[in-house]
Structure 1
């Protein structure tokens, strides 16, 4: 028999909870990158980073390294590190109404165990039962827009397990201040087979939270971004293509061009041809990597990988961004997808 957990609120201090939330992201390299822009210390191991961040917060010689700044950093990491996106275009009137609704959200009306623990994740106890679904944890003003960060909890029967186990992930709905759109962002820590259903659940909970109706509530039809694939592949100024799926419009062999970990690889430089039928190969999916700078090996990754069953109808409704250099680069990635679609 299962019992409901009696862990309904977090007993840790705000400082300990935020540091634990940092560890729960499991994004050491990206956390280090964002931390460095705010003068926090870096480290190659989580244990060392935890010690150094704690020291930074206590140091009088680092006034910028405070708890408020650390919370902003963790919000950015959680909402930006590695996500699959869907874009909902808005009218200016709908965008303004949604921004106003978000800025008016009273978090007291959305209290939950998950909000109490945020940015930490729950350590689920065997045999206990937990509330499932999407729960609003935080509304963060990131400067360039509003991020509504939701906890998503569900049970899944994993291979080798007798009973289902709980999982928790953080997903984000981001509404820019200067662009009329909604960005639905599903964490790529989630199994790829569950991303599509997660979009629908996140969308529905966001609608419930903002609580607007009538002409200002948009129809949540995601933008078809299929045309951006070939456009990005053919533009030599768009980073380096680390992976490309090349096919013909006729029956024939597909070609996967994969540079794996080679930093100087670009699939655009590889010639793929059909010497028998002379069918033309085109790009149906790709991963592009953009260096942070000319002397930096760190890269932002942009992926557009539709399922094969959608090729004929020229459909693709989602893309991924991993480790954006900063919020400006992140926004530009989204803009280039929209503009080429």
Structure 2
């Protein structure tokens, strides 16, 4: 029997061909929680793909899901700064706000109102089975909150409010798209056709290891932020843990720190980790860290120059966000109106 991810990956490949032929038929919703600065993992994992889809002509929505910051934490500290920082990185990476709508979750009331009917379409057992809910709960070490439990339904509302029919994801997020498909299908069956069933576009970018060999993640504090200076980048890489073996080899299982640096440098150099390891040879950790520092700083230099220029005019960033919020609200109100008609709650 073919597992769900294999089937989704096969379907995704076919959809990718359709996107290239008929980009005008697709509407993408993607984004992130503004829990901290965007990093190199975001760049290779999502930003490059978003710019590619936008430039193909796919209508794109980028959500900064600020309400979802508190799914697994107690504070909203720095959320405004993180939102503005993310927009700077979007623009510096090539996101065009005239073709991509950038908006914040909390300022679109009609989007969040979709949670009520959507919650009636899922069971508690389905929510408990979601891999992200289980992983975030285990990582938090806290009691399961109602917000974390319903996180997949929040994401379904994010996707469906604008009738997004394409969601670029990595393997870990495929279950969220499947949950959104289930909610759309059940709503349509119960009340009438309103929502498309979104498809997952599974990205091929490998998971980028952080400075400690684990997945690069803000939660682990092992990232190279896109907004770092060259000196800050060098300092972060110098502190990365490696080992005492002078011969550099690519062995993710036994030498995770070395493998993480090799993977990062190779991506920035458009090479591969095995080739790079052979080139460094007996140069040791010092040579590896210098190669990685030079590769990252060289690769990110154009992005960082644009980011600094954009940061000098934050009023422009705020204007882009206001315009995106206004458009998202208009679309959400229209969708909620259709939902009310379908459910018979127009008075």
Shorter-chain TM-score bucket reads: under 0.3
Question: What TM-score, normalized by structure 2, do the two folds share?
Answer: 0.24
Choose between structure 1 and 2: higher helix proportion: 2
* Greater relative contact order (Cα < 8 A, sep 6+): 2
